[in-house]
Chain A
Amino acid sequence: MSTHEGDLHVGHQFEDAEQQLDSYSAGMWLFLVTEVLFFGGLFLAYIIYRTRYTEAFVAAHHELDWQLGGLNTVILITSSLTMALGVRAAVLNRMKAVLGWLGLTFLCAGGFMVVKYIEYSAKFEHHLFPGPNFEFHHAGIDPGQAQMFFNLYFAMTGLHGAHVLIGMITMIILVIRLWVMRKQRIDFIPIELTGLYWHFVDLVWIFLFPLFYLVGGN
């Protein structure tokens, strides 16, 4: 067991720092399991509707810009790297490095949201947001079926985007906390847990990218 865990604050309910770390870690993985099932419902809806409305989905996906989607994929993968390095720095008690890596992760996340904003604005302009103003004119394609593609696109990328935002807010709180407690040994547990959460956010996008941006043959 690493000796640096000794000077960390241990909650009254725990016997020692190791039990605390084990518990928090298990708790976070359990929370991620709930997130898997949460997104899972939407993935199920996607599977069902895609098998039903294959042609419409293929036609609809051409409205998405796969290069922007690909860029976002690269941004998120990079942010996962910077986050992992940040967690490592926290364990090694390197304050400046942690702040640096967290900052980079935050920037990547911000970049992701900017690209997302660009994509969404384009959709709104082209009347591709589901609802009474939806318009889709492709020969031979039922607009209702195409709208289903966009229902799922906005629901899934929207929910994912909300998770990115929550991650960004969490990072801000982390940095503030680190700064306030900069005289003490870094408590790496919150950073580790945030890291796990952030990697999960990356995971979801890894599946969303091909399903929405790369449907069928290009």
Chain B
Amino acid sequence: MSFEPAKPKVYLLTFAALLVLTVITVLAAKLTLPKIPMGIMILDLNIVLAMAIACVKASLVVLYFMHFKDMGQVSKVWAVAGVFFLLVMFFMTLGDYENRHPEETVGWTESGPLHDARP
């Protein structure tokens, strides 16, 4: 891994882009986007948009300020792995909360082979 410093222009452009995106984030929050019901959960497009913009900003920081592309393979693989397992934690836990349907189990203990077999 060699370490060649980037031109200052790269950093300044990244900085400018980040500022612009910050302004966009604030403006986007003023919109009222639809909320899409999906099962129990309601997908709020406002959050989706805000997080999408945040991800773009994050990518800029990682790629240019942290010069991700110049890093060794170990760092790159591990950085991706870290984010991957974070998402695993998020989505599987959400999977629990979104799929609790207690109303579907009402009455389960009131009939069935075990119940009926009792004296």
Contacts and interface: CB of A to CB of B under 8 A. Distances in A.
Complex A–B touching at CB under 8 A: yes
Interface of A: 1-2, 18, 21-22, 25-26, 29-30, 32-34, 36-37, 40-41, 43-44, 47-48, 51-52, 54, 66, 70, 73-74, 77-78, 80-81, 83-85, 87-88, 91-92, 188, 192, 195-196, 199, 202-203, 206-207, 209-211, 214, 216-218
A72 to B, nearest CB: 11
A66 B28 CA distance: 13
B108 interface: no
Contacts, number: 142
Given A26-B74, A33-B79, A88-B5, A216 B65 contact: no
Interface string B79-100: 1011101100110011001000
B20 to A, nearest CB: 11
Contact of A207 (B11, B58, B62, B83): B58
Bin chain B's interface residue count. Answer: 35 or more
Interface of B: 1-6, 8, 11-12, 14-15, 18-19, 22, 25-26, 29-33, 41-42, 44, 46, 50-51, 53-54, 57-58, 61-62, 64-66, 71-72, 74-75, 78-79, 81-83, 85-86, 89-90, 93-94, 97
